[in-house]
Every structure is written in structure tokens, then in C-alpha cells.
Amino acid sequence: MSGFGNAFSSSIGKKFIMGATGIFLVLFLIVHCGINALIFLDDQGLTFNIGAHFMATNWIIRAGEVILMLGLLVHIFQALRLTLQNNKARPVKYAVNDGKANSKWYSRSMGLLGTLLLIFLVVHLKDFWVVSRFTGIPSVDANGHEDLYAVMRDKFQDPVRVAVYLLAMVSLCYHLLHGFASAFQTMGWNHSKYNGIIKSVGVWYSIIISIVFAAMPLAFHFGLIK
């Protein structure tokens, strides 16, 4: 890759990687959220379990899962590297710095929001991914499919877990509110005819994704779906 020189080690190249993996994760969340929303059909999870079964067994999805994990790791690792570099770029801090006068707090707190999401992710993967892929789902539903729905229902009886998930979805919402439009700017896709659309799609996307996800633990916890 010598022809590409320092394409990815330069500041802009590193940002391309953040933006590209970010857009990839944005797309993944649509799939994840869409399939999980099947629980709201309130059919004892029969349809949801079919979806979950497909996701767990289809080889294209499984290969995609590996790419997803890699994308996620790159996003996290690159963010860490960039943050360390950025801290070095200002060794002496200001005594008074009025950040709110010129930028949104969440645009300045992507590292913090991302860290909260990372902690959540560990909890979340342990709750469901490890169970469905490794330790095994204990029961089957009326169709004979592994009953991931029942696992969700049981786990979300714990109020602490519900609270953790809700907090994580607030973090996700703010992380996306900045990240979505930011990725476009980084990739250079700034165009007066499209900027308005990018901005509003970004806001709606962030809010809808977070609310639909947040509704899942709440619905189970308060018995709105059985």
C-alpha cells in the first residue's frame, strides 16, 4: 500500500476511519433495532425468535458479525488514539473556558458518551450475545425455536438492569446526535443542498433508534408485552 503514503496515519485519514466505521455502526443499529422491534408484535416472541434464529444461523450474518466486531474495535481504538493525541495538543488547560458559548456539550463529550456506551456494551453482550451464541438459550418457544424472547423478558425484570439500559440509550442518543452529521462532514459530504436533510435525518434517526431501544426493557419490565 506504499502508494497510499500516510493516507490513514494522517489526522484526516484517522478521521476518515472514525467516520466510515461510524456510518457502518449507524447502519448496523437500523438492522438491530428493526429485528428487535419484532417483540412489540406481542405474539410471545414467535416472530422475534424466528428473526433471532435467522441472525444466529445464517452464515452471511455470522460473517457480518465478525466485520461488525472489527469495525467496533477499530472505532474504539481509533477514538482512544485520537483522544490521547488531542490531549497532548493542549498540555496547559485554560483557567476559564466557555465551551457552551460555541458548541454543543455532547459534541465535546463524545469520548465520555462513548465510554459509557462501551461499558454498557460489555453488560449487553454478556446479557444476550454470550447467551445466544455460547452458553445457550435454556428454553424453546411453541415453534421449537430457541426462546431468546423469554431470556429478554426475564432479564428485564431486574430494575437495575432496566435503569442501566435506559441510561445507555440516553448516551446513545447524544452520541448519535453529534456522530451522524459529523461523519458526513468528515467524509467531506458538506453540500448546501443536502446539509439540511443530513441534519434532520440525523436528529430523527438518533431519537427514534434510542426511543425504540429504550422501549424494549420498559415494555418487558412493566408487563406491556408478555
Question: Which residues contact other proteins by CB under 8 A?
Answer: 3-7, 10-16, 82, 85-86, 88-99, 101-104, 107-108, 110, 178, 181-182, 185-190
User: In terms of CB distance, is 62 or 108 closer to other proteins?
Assistant: 108
Cell (9 digits) for 128: 444476550
Q: Which of 223, 123, 213 shows the shortest CA–CA distance to 166?
A: 213
Cell (9 digits) for 34: 428493526
Give least dist CB 195 to other proteins, A. Answer: 9
Collect contacts of 8-16 with beta carbons under 8 A, ≥24 apart: 14/78, 14/81, 14/82, 15/82, 15/186, 16/186, 16/187
Give least dist CB 118 to other proteins, A. Answer: 17
Give least dist CB 86 to other proteins, A. Answer: 4
User: In terms of CB distance, is 113 or 148 closer to other proteins?
Assistant: 113
User: In terms of CB distance, is 86 or 143 closer to other proteins?
Assistant: 86
User: In terms of CB distance, is 7 or 27 closer to other proteins?
Assistant: 7
Give least dist CB 188 to other proteins, A. Answer: 3
User: In terms of CB distance, is 20 or 35 closer to other proteins?
Assistant: 20
Residues 23, 184: Cα–Cα separation, whole Å: 9
Give least dist CB 187 to other proteins, A. Answer: 7
Q: Give the CA distances from residue 203 to residues 35, 62, 81, in Å, rounded to whole numbers and listed in that order.
A: 21, 30, 28
Give least dist CB 83 to other proteins, A. Answer: 9
> How does 171-194 read in b/e, with b if 16+ C-beta sit within 10 Å?
bbbbbbbbbbbbbbebeeeeeeee
Taking residue 152's Cβ as centre, other Cβ atoms within 10 Å add up to 21
Give least dist CB 199 to other proteins, A. Answer: 12
Which residue type occupies 120? F
Residue reference for cell 441510561? 167
User: In terms of CB distance, is 97 or 135 closer to other proteins?
Assistant: 97
> In the beta sheet, which residues pair with residue 113?
none
User: In terms of CB distance, is 4 or 59 closer to other proteins?
Assistant: 4
